[in-house]
């Protein structure tokens, strides 16, 4: 365990004393001769040079900095006339009303067909019930007898 395996091992004195320490010294780089001469490049336009005389008599010369120009605003779109807007909105409203009336008409027609089917279904069921009552009454005489003219009702023992 003379060689450190983790960074933590460097903190133990036993490992630090027995481990070989290599010291690296930086070596200076040899200068590289410059082969191409440096030519200053002029900007697209030559800025003007300004000189300022300070109160103590010194002269400071430098380039004048032009103030930053704000970005030009995008051109406003041409104003739309109120009449054109009103006509367009009126057209949209008219189409909405026509579509609503078409939907209302379709809804009423569907509702009418549904109600007609319900009435037909009720008539068939009720008619079948009446038919069963009529045809079963002739074969079965033990039911309730009602004679309205004489007011004779057997089940309630009412005799008039």
**Running along the chain, 160 residues long, what does each successive block of 10 average in pLDDT?**
58 58 74 66 64 84 74 80 93 95 96 97 93 71 59 54
Q: Residue 93 to residues 44, 68, 97, 100, 104: CA-CA distances in angstroms?
A: 59, 50, 6, 10, 16
- Model pTM score: 0.33
Contact 2/17 with Cβ under 8 angstroms? no
Helix/strand/coil for 13: helix
Q: How many residues does the chain have?
A: 160
Contact 96/104 with Cβ under 8 angstroms? no
In which element (H, E) is residue 119 found?
A: helix 82-139
């Amino acid at each position: 365990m003379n060689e450190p395996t983790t960074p933590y091992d460097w903190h133990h004195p036993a490992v630090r004393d027995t481990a070989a320490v290599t010291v690296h010294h930086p070596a200076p780089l040899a200068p590289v001769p410059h082969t191409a001469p440096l030519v200053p490049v002029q900007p697209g336009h030559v800025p003007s040079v300004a000189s300022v005389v300070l109160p103590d008599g010194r002269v400071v010369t430098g380039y004048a900095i032009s103030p930053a120009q704000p970005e030009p605003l995008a051109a406003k779109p041409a104003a739309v006339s109120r009449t054109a807007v009103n006509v367009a909105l009126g057209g949209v409203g008219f189409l909405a009303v026509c579509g609503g009336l078409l939907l209302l008409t379709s809804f009423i027609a569907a509702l009418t067909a549904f109600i007609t089917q319900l009435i037909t279904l009720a008539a068939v069921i009720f008619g079948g019930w009446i038919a069963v009552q009529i045809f079963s009454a002739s074969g079965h005489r033990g039911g309730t007898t009602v004679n309205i003219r004489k007011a004779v009702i057997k089940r309630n023992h009412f005799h008039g």
